[in-house]
Amino acid sequence: MPLKKKFLDIFSEVLLQHSSRDSKGSLAIFVLRAKDLREIITAYGLEASDRFMFGVEDRLRQIMRDEDIICRIGDAEFAVVLPGLHNASHAILAVNKVIREFKQPIQVNEHEIEPHVVLGVVIPEEESIPDHLELIQNAYQALVQAEKKKTSFALYELAKDDHLPPDLVVESEISYALQNEEFSLFYQPKFHLGSRASHAAEALIRWTSSKLGPVNTQYFIDILEKSDLLLPVTKWVLNKAISHLIECHKTDSSYKVAVNLSPALFVNDEIVDLVLNTVSIWGITPTSLILEVTEGAMMDNPELSLQILQSIHESGVEISIDDFGTGYSSLAYLRDLPANELKIDMSFVKNMHESPRNRSIATSTVQLAHNLGLSVTAEGIENEEILELLVGMGCDQGQGYHLARPMPFEELLKQI
């Protein structure tokens, strides 16, 4: 690891090379601060704090690439330069990897010390890169912003963020939103089509950012699914939805709440532990929670997906197959699914009064589901004619603007 002066010389040379016509890829720099160094000195002594910082250095070396430049530039701070990145998004991938790896404790003598690190990140414009000293100063400013917001990292903003891909800016704000209650849940009721009584509601996440304003839901979910924050945000949604469900049960003890699970969660069994532990902690009847999973979510790894759904279903939590008809699952696979409900995708429902083919698909889906012992919910009911057609088919439940639009929880509570 170079000394600070040597590091500055090397960094300056890297910038010159990067600015040359032969340079390829993007460049980034971050400053990492170990936040609890003073507490470590107080608790374990100066020697232990030195060993701890050596442990931080070793971990950085293990994480970063050989071509990355690392230097300790303060008592508790390191600067890391990442040259030759494929694109700017790879800088965020590297930062997320650092944050993830530093969640593991560092062994110091007989003690295991959990490192709490925060990063300030700069991804300069390719057209006009500042000098090396200014970039380090910018990284420090981003570090201060991260500490103020109590997030793991922050991006330094230049030119009103126009030089950054928008998703990098959004990703840097998601952690702040999670810690500062910027997310909220809206609910779209589900109705028994025969009685038109609401028996359940689907939880829908919304985000009004203090910095970005209202953020398009599908846009930030697409970004969230590529980040390490998907599971924490899912945990927040589950806990918030169940806390609302308990309020609903004061009026209607049979009411249910549905929560959507992202396909990106079906890569390991962490989601199983999260669901089962959350249900246990709140003490709700498992059958009052419905988890909605898209048909396509199970296609990448059908065997693992079945195991995950089976484990959740065996606990009593209900499983709903969302957007049915848009995927490519076989009848044999559908037969083996541990599910309680199929939801007919709105693309088959919205214009079924004008499309004989869509009516046939919906009718066949209702019959198939009932033959498999599943209930059926139709999405996208937008007028009375469609609703009557669905009732005639024997469809059990429905959602759509004709019945109720998504609403804040306070409004839902008034309707139960």
Q: How far apart are CA 12 and CA 27, in angstroms?
A: 13
Do 143 and 256 share a structural domain?
A: no
pLDDT exceeding 90 applies to what percent of the chain?
59
CA torsion, ordered 310, 315, 316, 319, to nearest 10 deg: -30
Do 372 and 243 share a structural domain?
A: yes
Do 380 and 250 share a structural domain?
A: yes
Average pLDDT value for residue range 310-326: 90
Q: How far apart are CA 87 and CA 103, in angstroms?
A: 26
Residue 184 has pLDDT above 60, yes or no: yes
Q: How far apart are CA 186 and CA 99, in angstroms?
A: 31
Which of 20-29, 244-253, 289-298, 300-309 ranks highest by mean pLDDT?
A: 244-253
Domain boundary among 137, 164, 191: 164
Confidence (pLDDT) at 22: 54
Do 233 and 338 share a structural domain?
A: yes
Strand runs labelled E in 226-361: 256-261, 289-294, 318-324, 341-344
Q: Identify the CATH number of the domain in which residue 212 sits.
A: 3.20.20.450
Do 146 and 197 share a structural domain?
A: no
Average pLDDT value for residue range 51-59: 95
- Is residue 171 assigned to a domain? no
Confidence (pLDDT) at 326: 58
Do 377 and 246 share a structural domain?
A: yes
pTM above 0.85, yes or no: no
- Is residue 344 assigned to a domain? yes
Type of residue found at 316: G
- Is residue 173 assigned to a domain? no
Burial class (CB in 10 A: 0-12, 13-18, 19+), 189: buried
Q: How far apart are CA 295 and CA 337, in angstroms?
A: 10
Q: Do residues 158 and 127 make contact, with C-beta atoms less than 8 angstroms apart?
A: no
Do 194 and 158 share a structural domain?
A: no
Residue 137 has pLDDT above 90, yes or no: no
Do 273 and 140 share a structural domain?
A: no
The encoded tokens of residue 55 equal 């442990």
- Is residue 172 assigned to a domain? no
Confidence (pLDDT) at 159: 37
- Is residue 170 assigned to a domain? no
192-214 pLDDT, tens digit each: 999 999 999 999 999 988 877 78
State the pLDDT confidence band at 161, using cuts at 50, 70 and 90. very low
Q: How far apart are CA 42 and CA 39, in angstroms?
A: 5
- Is residue 231 assigned to a domain? yes
Residue 65 has pLDDT above 50, yes or no: yes
Least confident of 182-196, 228-242, 319-333: 319-333
Confidence (pLDDT) at 163: 46
Average pLDDT value for residue range 241-264: 97
Number of domains present in the structure of the chain: 2
Alpha helices in 84-131 (DSSP H): 88-101
Residue 170 has pLDDT above 90, yes or no: no
Do 209 and 347 share a structural domain?
A: yes
Q: How far apart are CA 365 and CA 382, in angstroms?
A: 19
Confidence (pLDDT) at 162: 45
Task: Report the mean per-residue pLDDT for the chain.
Answer: 88
Strand-pairing partners, residue 78, are 32, 72
Q: Do residues 154 and 351 make contact, with C-beta atoms less than 8 angstroms apart?
A: no
Q: Identify the CATH number of the domain in which residue 149 sits.
A: 3.30.70.270
Do 240 and 196 share a structural domain?
A: yes
Return all residues near 69 (Cβ < 8 A) that are at least 6 apart.
2, 7, 10, 11, 14, 80, 81, 83
Domain boundary among 104, 134, 164: 164
Least confident of 76-85, 159-168, 330-339: 159-168
289-298 pLDDT, tens digit each: 999 998 777 7
Domain boundary among 100, 132, 164: 164
Do 224 and 157 share a structural domain?
A: no
Average pLDDT value for residue range 138-167: 74
Confidence (pLDDT) at 119: 95
Do 365 and 231 share a structural domain?
A: yes
Range of the domain at 133: 4-164
